[in-house]
């Protein structure tokens, strides 16, 4: 996958439109999730996605072969995303995972499951507000944009072990905030959660 992306980037540099389309196709989903996580509205998420791709294209020559494209994309788009997030917080006290963005999630057949999912995401969004910016970013990159630990380490320019320990701390802080809210208003689950791993 990495080698394919590298070759695709190389073709993009020479102005190949088909290569650009292939690159976007391979990366648009996680990047859109990332943009949506930082945006106050669905419309802003769309604008932000396009701005991020424009910025990626402008900086395409700075991408170094052998490095992770997603890590590089995060480094390039980081200021854009963080600025957009800060602006939205100033203007309308919005945080991550705005309800308007969550409305874009595909609905399930079971209304109870849809409501449960909605409640869960809102709980996490409220918990994210209480986290430090850097810790919240780690959770968003790993758990919402789906970046791997190695991509995170490269994006943050940190050793892998440090990334793992920081992410664990960020998750525990978030879980503590979520737990307090769960004690006040527990989620009505449609079925018992299986012990052990995550589905």
Q: Segment near other proteins (CB under 8 A), from 67-75, 80-88, 155-163, 178-186?
A: 178-186
* Contact between residue 27 and residue 33 where contact means Cβ atoms under 8 Å apart: no
**176 binds other proteins, rule: CB under 8 A:** yes
**86 to 125, contacts with other proteins by CB under 8 A?**
97, 101, 104-106, 117, 120-121, 123-124
Q: Segment near other proteins (CB under 8 A), from 10-18, 68-76, 84-92, 152-160?
A: 10-18
* Contact between residue 32 and residue 52 where contact means Cβ atoms under 8 Å apart: no
Tell which residue, 165, 142, 132, 8, has the closest CA to residue 71. Answer: 142
- Distance (Å, rounded) from C-alpha 179 to C-alpha 86? 26
- Distance (Å, rounded) from C-alpha 198 to C-alpha 145? 17
Q: Segment near other proteins (CB under 8 A), from 45-53, 66-74, 76-84, 155-163?
A: 45-53
Cα dihedral: 138, 188, 182, 172 (round 10): -30
Tell which residue, 141, 36, 48, has the closest CA to residue 96. Answer: 36
Two structure tokens written together for 117: 């999912």
Place of tokens 């439109």: 17
Nearer to other proteins, 90 or 184 (CB): 184
CB 13, min distance to other proteins, A: 6
**69 binds other proteins, rule: CB under 8 A:** no
Q: State the greatest distance between any 2 C-alpha atoms of the chain, in Å, as a whole number.
A: 57
Two structure tokens written together for 68: 């992770």
CB 172, min distance to other proteins, A: 6
**14 binds other proteins, rule: CB under 8 A:** yes
**82 binds other proteins, rule: CB under 8 A:** no
* Contact between residue 144 and residue 34 where contact means Cβ atoms under 8 Å apart: yes
**6 binds other proteins, rule: CB under 8 A:** no
Q: Segment near other proteins (CB under 8 A), from 11-19, 71-79, 83-91, 152-160?
A: 11-19
Note the residues at the interface with other proteins (CB under 8 A).
13-17, 20-21, 23-25, 28-29, 32-33, 36-37, 46, 49-50, 53-54, 57-62, 97, 101, 104-106, 117, 120-121, 123-124, 127, 139, 142-144, 146, 164-165, 167-168, 171-172, 174-176, 178-179, 182-183, 187, 193, 195, 197-199
């Amino acid at each position: 996958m990495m080698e394919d992306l590298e070759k695709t980037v190389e073709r993009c540099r020479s102005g190949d439109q088909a290569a650009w389309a292939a690159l976007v196709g391979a990366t648009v989903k996680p990047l859109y999730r990332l943009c949506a996580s930082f945006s106050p509205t669905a419309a802003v998420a769309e604008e932000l996605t396009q701005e991020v791709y424009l910025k990626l294209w402008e900086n395409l020559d700075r991408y170094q072969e052998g490095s992770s494209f997603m890590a590089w994309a995060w480094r390039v788009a980081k200021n854009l995303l963080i600025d957009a997030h800060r602006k939205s917080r100033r203007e309308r006290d919005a945080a991550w995972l705005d309800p308007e963005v969550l409305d874009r999630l595909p609905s399930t057949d079971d209304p109870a499951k849809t409501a449960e999912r909605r409640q869960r995401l809102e709980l996490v969004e409220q918990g994210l507000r209480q986290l430090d910016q850097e810790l919240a970013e780690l959770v968003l990159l790993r758990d919402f944009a789906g970046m791997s630990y190695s991509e995170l380490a490269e994006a943050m320019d940190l050793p892998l072990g440090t990334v793992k320990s920081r992410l664990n701390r960020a998750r525990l802080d978030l879980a503590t905030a979520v737990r307090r809210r769960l004690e006040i208003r527990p989620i009505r689950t449609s079925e018992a959660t299986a012990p052990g791993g995550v589905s």
